[in-house]
Chains A and B, each alone.
Chain A
Amino acid sequence: MTWLIPNLWLIPALPLLAAGLGALLKRPQQRLASILSVGAIGLAFLLACGAFAQTLSEHAERQVHNFAWFHFGETSLRLGWILDPLTASMLVMITFVGGLIFIYSVGYMARDPNFTRFFCFLSLFAAAMLGLVISNNLLQLFMCWELVGLASYLLIGFWYHKPSAAAAAKKAFITTRIGDIGFLLGIVWLYHETGTLLFYDHGAGCLEHGALAKLVAQTTVGGMLVSTAISLLLFCGAVGKSGQVPLHVWLPDAMEGPTPVSALIHAATMVTAGVFLVARVYPLFNAEFAISLAPSGTLPPVSTALQVVTWTGAITAVLAALIAVAQTDIKRILAYSTVSQLGYMFIGLGVGGPAVGMFHLLTHAFFKALLFLGAGSVIHGFHEEQDIRRMGGSRKFMPVTFATYAVGMLALAGFPLIFSGFWSKDEILHSALKWPASKGPFFLALMGAGLTAFYMTRQMWFVFFRPRTDFRPDSGHDAHHVHAAPDSEPHESPSIMTIPLVILAACVVLLSIFATPVWPWFDAYLAGHLSHLHVGWSGDGTLVIVMLLSVVAVAFGLGGGWALYSRVQDGEARDPVETRLPGLFGALRERLRVDEFYEATILRLSRILAVSSDWIDRFGWSACVDLIRLLTIGLAWISRYFDQSIINVGFDASCESVRGWGRLAGLLQNGQAQRYLRILAFGIVMLIVALAWMGDSAR
């Protein structure tokens, strides 16, 4: 299997090839397009499994393959592939979840006229995301990072004829770009300090001891360590991509894209790229603590960068969960829930390290993809209705969707023991409780857990349990109604859509095996000591307390939600929370007016700047330009005078001579071989003479 490392590029190359070929297909070739894309990601999945197996067998030894892309003089730009547990687990997750979503999309998009384009974009996205994961160079990662951004832009705006979709695509692109500025600055700075962007290069990489020690040894403005400053700049990119406060605003709007896109890009994979980035460069974030040259007494308990990560995650987790409580669009609720869960992942990274954050990333990918696909199935069944207040009772119409959705919902809410979401969230809570810096994130996360259970209960009630009132036909028109529009009844989706749901639901449950305190396999796998893994209780006393607390929080959320909402029968009625806390609910429904706040501050500022620079342009610069224009005209008059009376006379004379030269050239190249040969001989003689003359003058 050693050929796999140098050939790791095949994994992203396959979907890329599918995207390239897909771009050439004509619209009616839907079958071919779907076979190409699904086939490519299927093959990529097999390769990813191979890679995964390799990391299992070799005790997770990190393997890299670096090569020179091109040389500038002495320096060369080197890229590389990396295979370690982090990469392998992401590869398997992306290709597996992605493959299921591809299959689901075949059903979901079946009637879209731009079916082939959709699959082309999907494959492009998969290629970029896989490329991002296997990069062993920060620049290479950044390129793929931008490519996934592009694919996301294209897919959010897939229905570009809808103005809201076009606007959402732009918003997503621009907002993430704001974070990317920080990211790029961080990359440049890192390169400036360490001279390499390879992560691991047999001791010379930027994440290895030598480079980190150099970064920790220097300070910059405000006494901040350089490693901290660079980490925070890189974190800006992660904040943008992973929708953390304050750059979370694009993610809910991104739901304008087709639902499989929301599932694949804006829940399972792309938005987790930020988390992956932090996990990948974790040694840099942690450098202050791990490789500090300061005397041990002055060490902070946790590195500054990781504190920022944790607090950002905690605030996001709670705020987004709060906002989700007051939303009515089924996909927006899930979008805010995604933002909130991404916050959890960052808490996990900050307090517990890559294994904790990454496990939640993986479990979340499965259950959130499941939820989105389930939501897609519901939307499909309700004929493109997305408002949960107008749904209801679909438990009966869509048994498969209901059952699988319930699995996803319980996993997201953190229902104990058999759902993977419980274990991954529990690990985060446990680590947060033990965090030396502060107990704040723990309580915030616990509160978020309760809120999550609450808003998911609300959603389940509205979509699946509440009896349907508004679609119920009048008794007199019953027969007529059915005849007029037999399609208008909600219906279960075709099996090409439900089978992926069932598979995902099964995985959501199965994954819970891998991180129980009894057998913390995943932790050991990521940390690279799989061989020391023992079956048996590995937790301590605090773990039991955490589990109990989280169960209480979840139970409180579920029970509270059920108690409040199970009495709501009419979708148009006021929300029970609204009746009790009208002010807060209103603010939450308005999404805390973050968009409006940006509109009033940053956008207004930018507009003012635009207007004023336009004004400067018009009156300031143009005055200069006008002045120059006038000067030029004046000069032109003078020069025209010169021209006509002085130059022209001379020009005529010189034209004559140019024509003469032209004639001479014509005479030279006149097709007469004799003359050519004469010139040849003459040339040789002249060259010899020139040499002789040069020799003389040199002496």
Chain B
Amino acid sequence: MDYPGLIKLLAPECLVVLTALAVLFADLKFWRGLPSAQRLGRGAALATVGLLAAALFIGLGEKSADLLVGTLVLTRVSQFLKLVLLLLTLGTVWLCSDTDFTEHIGEFLALLLLAATGMMLLISTENLLMIFVSLELVSLSLYVITAFNKRSPRSAEAALKYFLFGGMAAGFMLFGFSLLYGLSGSIHLPDIALALRTKGSDPLAMAAVVMVLAGFGFKIAAVPFHFWAPDTYEGAPAPAAAFIASGSKVASFFVLVTLLQAGMPGAAGSGAWKAFVPGWMPIVAILATASMVFGNLAALAQSSLRRLLACSAIAHAGYALLAVMAEPADAKPALLYYVVTYALTLVGMFGLVSVVEGGDGADSISQLAGLSQRSPLLAVCLSVFGLSLAGVPPLAGFFGKFYVFVAVAKSGPTLSSFWLVLVAITMSCVSLYYYLQVLKQAWVAVPVVESAPTRAGGPLVWVVSLLAFAVVLLGCVPELLLRFLR
């Protein structure tokens, strides 16, 4: 056991934890008397320093390691993904800078950073126990920050639903893990893979697969484990919702694909049309199809921007799940490109949501009316995000979908998975309708009541514009991101 080496490998995570404690301490000790805007600014600045330092450590540190039989596994891709997570955390931190939903600023930022730590740990392990513990760290932190708007009963309700749902999902997942342990006698993914090779179609293994997928289905909001999403997105403070929709998803998808493809290749089965073989493939296919269909159809009927984003998040979870079924070599780049660009887009979207809502918390789509007059820059950003989510070239969302669809269509025997791509393409056509409805409000519709000029604070607008720029850039030059994910 080499403790200095372990500390060195875990330095970024340690730094983020220390930053969380430092923010908490500084806020309680020194900044109590200040007005909340200043406390937020200072807290965000301190958190930024810590996050950047952690990013620096990742950049300079080891690129690959495997410690304690898979407890700590660093790869080039996971290290890069940590950088992405730090970036998303940074964006979320600065999203807070313009809101005033809470006076407990230190606690909020500290919990955010703890959640980030959980995500970073989550993607750097191949050990079931570590996966579970880090997932719980993420979930618990997110439950709390969902409830942070104490003035709004909806926030508390959202958090409670999120918590109850998450608790149950976690229970199932733990059950599934224990079944896996029972089948294989190991909690190390490669060992489990070896054991499942012979017992691939064991009914017990099937039950374990379904339960594990239920747990992750909750994290990524796939039908039928999605019920918490609309309520939570609606009630949570905007930065919290942004983080749930972005960072948490990126990390969960990464673990999911690792778990399924590295841990259970023997129980894959097949999701080919009319040739289902039991395993996780058909389950993922069912979840993906249901999510795409339900998410897009439900989004059509929403009048609240946040609920619309939630329903579209369900649909996007469906698209991304498709990538899980691709050949291992294609799956990770396509999936990660998709979720990373999606996460960037959603953080930007929630930034816009918090601008549009202003103080009163009303987030109906009609609030956007006349945005192009009030703030042309934000209207352009909204269009970039909306069109990217709808998958219009040359924005990042288009290439994300494109890579996923190609990866899926290529997998398995010729065109056997093509039915999934057909469903996905049909459903993306449907989705264009509701994204364009949002854009129509921003560019065409005339506001019913004369709304006040949008109060757009500095850092928030910067974050949103930078994210919009990133979405355009990654769409035009996908190679910038892809070469880190291969």
> Which residues of A are at the interface with B, using a C-beta cutoff of 8 A?
68-71, 668-669, 671, 673, 676-677, 679-681, 683-684, 687-688, 690-692, 694-695, 698
Contacts and interface: CB of A to CB of B under 8 A. Distances in A.
Contacts of A691: 206, 209-210, 278-279, 282-283
A671 B235 CA distance: 12
A68 B231 CA distance: 45
A680 B277 contact: no
Contacts of B169: 680
B276 A692 contact: no
B37 interface: no
A687 B210 contact: yes
Contacts of B276: 694, 698
A70 B406 CA distance: 15
A687 B283 contact: yes
Contacts of B201: 695
A199 B193 CA distance: 50
B203 interface: yes
B180 interface: no
Contact of A669 (B213, B225, B230): B230
B443 interface: no
Given A673-B165, A677-B168, A680-B214, A690 B286 contact: yes
A673 B172 contact: no
A680 B161 CA distance: 13
A71 B486 CA distance: 13
Contacts of B283: 687, 690-691
A694 B172 contact: no
A684 B479 contact: no
Interface string B404-415: 000000000000
A273 to B, nearest CB: 26
Nearest to A69: B479
B285 to A, nearest CB: 11
A686 to B, nearest CB: 8
A684 B206 contact: no
Contacts of A683: 214, 224-225
B161 A673 contact: yes
How would you classify the secondary structure of chain A's contact residues: helix, strand, loop or mixed? helix
Nearest to A682: B224
A356 to B, nearest CB: 41
Interface string B266-279: 00000000001111
B277 A694 contact: yes
How would you classify the secondary structure of chain B's contact residues: helix, strand, loop or mixed? helix
A540 to B, nearest CB: 55
Contacts of B172: 684
Contact of A684 (B165, B210, B282, B286): B210
B312 to A, nearest CB: 15
A691 B203 CA distance: 9
Nearest to B225: A680
B207 interface: yes
B164 A673 contact: yes
A426 to B, nearest CB: 49
Interface in B150-199: 160-161, 164-165, 168-169, 172
Contacts of B206: 688, 691-692, 695
B228 A676 contact: yes
Nearest to A70: B479
Contacts of A669: 227, 230
Contacts of A679: 224, 227
A309 to B, nearest CB: 38
A301 to B, nearest CB: 48
B211 interface: yes
A266 B462 CA distance: 43
B361 interface: no
Given A673-B164, A683-B214, A684-B210, 19 more contacts: A69-B479, A669-B230, A676-B164, A676-B165, A677-B164, A677-B168, A680-B214, A680-B224, A681-B168, A687-B286, A688-B206, A688-B207, A688-B210, A691-B282, A691-B283, A692-B203, A694-B278, A695-B201, A698-B278
B284 to A, nearest CB: 11
Nearest to A662: B301
B478 interface: yes
A563 to B, nearest CB: 64
A690 B207 CA distance: 11
Nearest to B162: A673
A642 B71 CA distance: 69
A390 B478 CA distance: 61
A270 to B, nearest CB: 27
Enumerate the 4 nearest inter-chain pairs by beta-carbon distance, A residue then B residue, closest first: A683-B224, A676-B227, A695-B278, A691-B278
A680 B210 contact: no
Nearest to B280: A691
Given A673-B160, A688-B210, A694 B282 contact: yes
Contacts of A680: 165, 168-169, 214, 218, 224-225, 227
A70 B165 contact: no
A694 B271 CA distance: 11
Contacts of B225: 680, 683
B230 A676 contact: no
5 contacts: A70-B478, A71-B479, A683-B224, A683-B225, A691-B279
A675 to B, nearest CB: 8
Nearest to B161: A673
B16 to A, nearest CB: 32
Contacts of B227: 668-669, 676, 679-680
Nearest to A693: B278
A668 B223 CA distance: 12
A683 B207 CA distance: 12
A688 B279 CA distance: 10
Contacts of B160: 673
Nearest to B270: A698
Most buried by A among B161, B207, B210: B210
Contacts of B224: 679-680, 683
Interface in B437-486: 477-479
Contacts of B211: 684
A667 to B, nearest CB: 12
A692 B231 CA distance: 33
A677 B226 CA distance: 11
Contacts of B209: 691
Contacts of B479: 68-71
A679 B477 CA distance: 43
A529 B164 CA distance: 80
A677 B203 CA distance: 24
Most buried by B among A677, A679, A687: A687
Nearest to B201: A695
A692 B279 CA distance: 10
A444 B139 CA distance: 86
Nearest to A687: B210
A158 B350 CA distance: 43
A467 to B, nearest CB: 61
Contacts of A684: 172, 210-211, 214
B256 to A, nearest CB: 16
A128 to B, nearest CB: 18
Nearest to B287: A687
Most buried by B among A68, A69, A673: A673
Contacts of B282: 690-691, 694
B286 A677 contact: no
Contacts of B286: 687, 690
Nearest to B283: A687
A666 to B, nearest CB: 10
A71 B276 CA distance: 33
A664 to B, nearest CB: 13
Given A688-B206, A691-B282, A671 B231 contact: yes
B211 to A, nearest CB: 7
Given A683-B224, A691-B282, A676 B161 contact: yes
